[in-house]
Structure formats: C-alpha cells, structure tokens
Amino acid sequence: MNDLAAQLEATGIYIRTGPFCVHLRSGLASVAEGLARLYHEYPACEQQEFADFHLKIDAVAGLRRWFRPQVQFSFDGHVPFKPLPLVQAFPMFEWGLNWCVANHAHDYLIIHAAVVEKGGRAAILPEPPGAGKSTLCAALVNRGWRLFSDELAMFSLQTRELVPLPRPVNLKNDAIDLIRAYAPDAVFGQRVSDTNKGTVCHMKAPAESIARAAEEAPPAWIIMPRYVAGAEADLESRSKAQTCMDLAQNAFNFSLLAEEGFQAVTELLERSACYDFSYSRLDDAIRIFDALAAGQ
C-alpha cells in the first residue's frame, strides 16, 4: 500500500481497463486505498509511455486545504468539473473516467447502460438513474454473469460487438446494503455520503470479468429494467421502434456519430430481442435472466 501511494504521487500508475490505458496521479490516501482494494487485479499497461487518458486527482490548493477541503479532477491538464468535497476523491475518479470514455472514445457507440454476458451473448440494460440497473447488474455478476460495465455499453464500430469495460459497480443508497447481504463475498470500497447521488459505494468487479476483459460478445437482448417495490418479476416484449428512441436518447455520442450512430443502433436492434422488465426480488430476476441465457 505504501509503495503504491508513493508511486501514485510521484510518477503515477498505468492501469489497463478494457481497451483503455489510464495514467493516474494522486497524492491522496483515499485514492490509493481505493485502487489497492478495487483495482489490484487489473494489469499494468504494456507500453507505459502512452495512455489514452492522463488523469490527476488532488486536493485543491490554498485555503481549501484547511477550510472545507475539496478535490479536483484534471484530464490532460484541463479541469472539466467543479471541485467536490475531499471525501469524494475516489468516486470522482470513477465518475471522471466514465466522462472521459463517454466523451472521447468515438470508435464506439456508447450508451448509458449496464452490460452483462452469459453463454457468449450479452444483455444491454439501459435506463435512467434510479431504475435499479446497477443493483440488478451487481446481483447478476455475483450469480454467474460476466460484467462488461454497469454504466457504459460500448458497441465497436469496427468489430460490431460489445466491448467489455469491467470496472467497479457504482451502488447507491439502499442498494449498498442490499448487495452486501446478497453477495457477502464481494469486495466493497469506502462508503461515501452526501454526494449528488446520495450515499455511494463501489463494488469490485469479479476477478473473472477482469481477466476476460479482452473478450467481446454479440448483443442478444436489450432489457429495460425497473425496480417496483413488492412486484412480481415480469418480462414483456417491447417494440423495437420505442427501443430505438430510448437507445438514441441514452447514447452519449449518437448525434456526433451521425449516420454511423444510426447504423449502429439499427444493428443492435436487429440482433437483439427487446423487453421491459420489472422486478422487486433479486432471486426472481436472476431466474428470468438465466432462463433467457438458456434459450427458454
């Protein structure tokens, strides 16, 4: 831990996550602790003179070091966000890296969605915040599904497959204790309160998902999940026209990619069965997803 903190502050570390090499520097103990707990199984980049993203997470200088201390995120020397309270340093790294990928990785159609895989086929779970996609994603990857991402579905414009970006799953509020109880062997980072998303806590990606980060998969299902307290699990077909509109609305770079973006969304729809899914009990959700994977 001490060696990691020293290197992180001096020259930074180079981490391979999915198709990206990330160079991160920070002098903050909370960032070093988060990396040691949640990223220790990620490989280092082979060529450390190059990185897709050069990031720095550090305390704001001046009076802010002593009065309501804050943390600042920088990308390639630029500061794209306002500072946050210092306690939110590690979540800021996670959120900032998501922003970097969503705004710069235009070799992919990038959709705000969770992605999981089983049996060589992937399910895309797009929905607005608060719909329960990260909770469902965390439950699935602790019951035999492979984690691609809980935030960013990346459809390669070259290979026409979904590309893994297995990083810690961002859980919020009541979902934290729910998944802790549901997956007692999972590894969790620090719980951070009073963020703009409420209380957040990151769950480590399963080791197998990290080890298989180079293995892409074809899309098979687009499932719009929604947690409904007390409801029976219900999977219903939905129109591809409505799903097309939802995917376009949830895609970060659909307009930027123009015709390529439209073709990518069209291909996802052609290759996937589309569903609405409501649930309240995680075991019921797992049963239905496993049945889909088994072709039932």
What span, in angstroms and rounded, lies between the C-alpha atoms of 70 and 84?
5
Confidence at residue 74, expressed as pLDDT on a 0 to 100 scale: 96
d(CA 169, CA 156): 22
Query: What span, in angstroms and rounded, lies between the C-alpha atoms of 237 and 120?
Result: 22
Pairwise CA distance, residues 126 & 142, whole Å: 20
pLDDT at 106: 97
User: Coil, helix or strand for 156?
Assistant: strand
Residue 185 confidence (pLDDT)? 96
What pLDDT, on the 0 to 100 scale, is given for residue 46? Answer: 78
Q: What is the pLDDT of residue 176?
A: 97
Dump pLDDT digits (tens) for 166-194.
999 999 999 999 999 999 999 999 999 99
Spans of the chain, pLDDT less than 70: 1, 48, 62-66, 128-130
The DSSP secondary-structure symbol of 151 reads S
**Whole-angstrom Cα distance, residue 154 to residue 156?**
6
Res 1: pLDDT: 67
Please report, for the chain, the start and end positions of each structural domain, with discontinuous segments joined by +: 2-104, 108-293
DSSP state string for 169-206: EEEETHHHHHHHHH-TTS-B---EEEETTEEEEEEPPP
What gap in Å lies between CA 281 and CA 278, rounded to an integer?
10
> Which two structure tokens, joined as six digits, stand for 293?
């994977």
The per-residue pLDDT for range 215-255, each reduced to its tens digit, is 999 999 999 999 888 889 999 999 999 999 999 999 999 99
